[in-house]
Structure 1
């Protein structure tokens, strides 16, 4: 990490921490709202109100960022998140959650493009990018841990009826991050003119980019099956209480944080493709073990409580590693546009995965949850092999 980047790394990490908390409170909301008269089908589509705006707004976000600059755009997005977090505790109607997630998704699209652009403008080589992106994205895992542990404590305490006031902490954190960003000196590379964006999009329509976006889609598709729905699987299938169900995601995020931190420190010693494939292979081994325990030792499901979170150790490095490999090859003036494509396909993967999971849970097919995840990982493994084989031949 360059000295310049080291000075701005804290606000970048806090930015991902904040967005992680507001995006990954979905598992909490599914758990809480499922106890009311809201169906799993409605909750599954609630995820789409977060993800689809991210997809649709991303290209427009590039134009906005090009006009205002990454720093100002990021501050604007954080200010909106802080304001929305202040409103949430005082609104009860379900339609507001849809609006809230739509706004949060839009801000995340802007924020992610800004953060990736700032990192790319300071680092060029592939392995340094992988190190930095793993460090910054590791804070995303801490956000998942904080939101599940903090809210888990609230809903299991005597103050459970005030659980939504925990969002005020996110608002305060947003203010602190805005102050840090306003003081940081961030140099920006001149981006593409807005009129060139459409023509440059066609330049990304290459087999390697298409395969890469397919891999990104599949990674987020798999991650979403864990992050939002694992607590409900623990509660409804493994019969644990709400607090422990939320801690499942907390432990998953801790292992994920560990995985990204370890990757950031050792990635220079390994080939990125081999490291990536090794991680997927270990995920498949763990999932086969989980499926074996569930179907052949169904009387004792306790090991599942502990095996699912361990998957985060090997799942979490995939996204930053594959992104850094491609981003390092993109010209700096095109990075905002390229990141918007990453954001679009990530959000589509998240939305489609959540809709499928809602159907799975709504039809009470929880016995197939581990098998569904395993099938998704095998698909990811195959597409990833095709991607690395193709890029190696180039």
Structure 2
């Protein structure tokens, strides 16, 4: 039984690894295009990924219910395979917008499918552990894409950096083969979105708190993953290669943080883990801001080591929130739940990128840690409400 569960988990982890590399290649793209396009323009570029992602998540629920989660995940990987092969062959800026739209649509399909597969094949603490494992692979994808592209950009083949996306295409082929060979339990045909009053379930206070937290969590993660290389380059005056490597270590620490969480959640309550992580994140951000404001010239080099460490405690938050809610929601509502999560994630990503773009545009990036601290305070307050509030819904609707 454990072997079967691990066989299911592996292609899911690889899928999130692939989409992580695609979604977080924005840090590389921003660095490469920043000399040609303003930060204001680059901030808008992210919306070409996030808006189609949000729109697709609204309309793909019934489609996934009909085709099945496994087939929907296969379709999303095929779209990625084709688009990654095409990207280096089209040498125009407008194709980045089309490519990002394809990535956004495919990720909406993939995320709903992956989380639904986890819901249908894992339970309770094992479900929480599976989500943390899958999300850990997402963080490793960020590490891999920054190390890979960073190495490529400093080599004699730097002008061919876009061909790095062919590696992602190759990984997509491997994942497709693994998915084809594994048996996955599918939920019964869903009526999601068709019952009158179905959406009222998602207005439960606990779920509203959760959706707001999702928005700000992605908002914060986007501020780190896409803009930390630019902060290192502009404020610490280090070259693009080392800027990407520092950001890669943020992802590596995030990977270890989520990997550890997949084990710790089997022993400790999610709320206790979140409180510990939030406290340490506040502490690290405060130290970084003090160093930047008062001891910049003497301890600048420390920031290169301290800031990536924040991933060890920031990264576990998102899967912990997700697993707490996913465990409480009935199977038949999983597709709709994850589609709403994708919408709020997309909004958080776009707004977060615009937020940071304005900060860099206004030359206020010396307060980078402080600006990230503000939305974290909102998450901290909402977490108490999330923990104390039960999910309420009409029992008759479930029967």
Q: Which interval holds the TM-score relative to the shorter structure?
A: over 0.9
- State the aligned residue count: 392
Structure 2 distance, partners of 1:294, 1:172, is 42
The Cα offsets for residues 56-86 of structure 1, whole Å up to 9 and x where unpaired, read as: 1102111111121111111110000010001
- From the superposition, tell whether residues 231 and 343 of structure 1 become closer, same or farther in structure 2 (CA, over 3 Å): same
Quote the offset at 1:195 in angstroms.
5.3
Structure 1 distance, partners of 2:391, 2:204, is 15
Q: Contact conserved, 1:189 with 1:332, CA < 8 A, in 2?
A: yes
Equivalent position to 2:263, from 265, 272, 275: 265
Q: Contact conserved, 1:5 with 1:119, CA < 8 A, in 2?
A: no
| Equivalent runs, 1:99-178 vs 2, <5 Å | 99-125=98-124, 127-178=125-176
Quote the offset at 1:256 in angstroms.
0.3
- From the superposition, tell whether residues 143 and 309 of structure 1 become closer, same or farther in structure 2 (CA, over 3 Å): same
Q: Normalization by structure 1: what TM-score?
A: 0.96
Paired position in structure 2 for 1:346:
345
- From the superposition, tell whether residues 105 and 216 of structure 1 become closer, same or farther in structure 2 (CA, over 3 Å): same
Paired position in structure 1 for 2:368:
369
Across the aligned residues of Structure 1 and Structure 2, the Cα RMSD in angstroms comes to: 1.6
- From the superposition, tell whether residues 240 and 61 of structure 1 become closer, same or farther in structure 2 (CA, over 3 Å): same
Unaligned runs of 5+ in 2: 394-399
Paired position in structure 1 for 2:16:
16
- From the superposition, tell whether residues 276 and 392 of structure 1 become closer, same or farther in structure 2 (CA, over 3 Å): farther
- From the superposition, tell whether residues 4 and 306 of structure 1 become closer, same or farther in structure 2 (CA, over 3 Å): same
The Cα offsets for residues 344-393 of structure 1, whole Å up to 9 and x where unpaired, read as: 11111111000111111112211121110122222221222232233499
* SS of residue paired to 2:121: coil
Q: Contact conserved, 2:206 with 2:389, CA < 8 A, in 1?
A: yes
Structure 1 window deviating more from structure 2 (103-112 vs 326-335): it is: 326-335
Structure 2 distance, partners of 1:230, 1:67, is 41
Unaligned runs of 5+ in 1: none
Structure 2 distance, partners of 1:197, 1:27, is 42
The Cα offsets for residues 225-282 of structure 1, whole Å up to 9 and x where unpaired, read as: 1000000000011000000000121100100010011111122221111111110111
The Cα offsets for residues 83-110 of structure 1, whole Å up to 9 and x where unpaired, read as: 0001111122222111111111000000
Quote the offset at 1:194 in angstroms.
5.2
Structure 1 window deviating more from structure 2 (266-275 vs 227-236): it is: 266-275
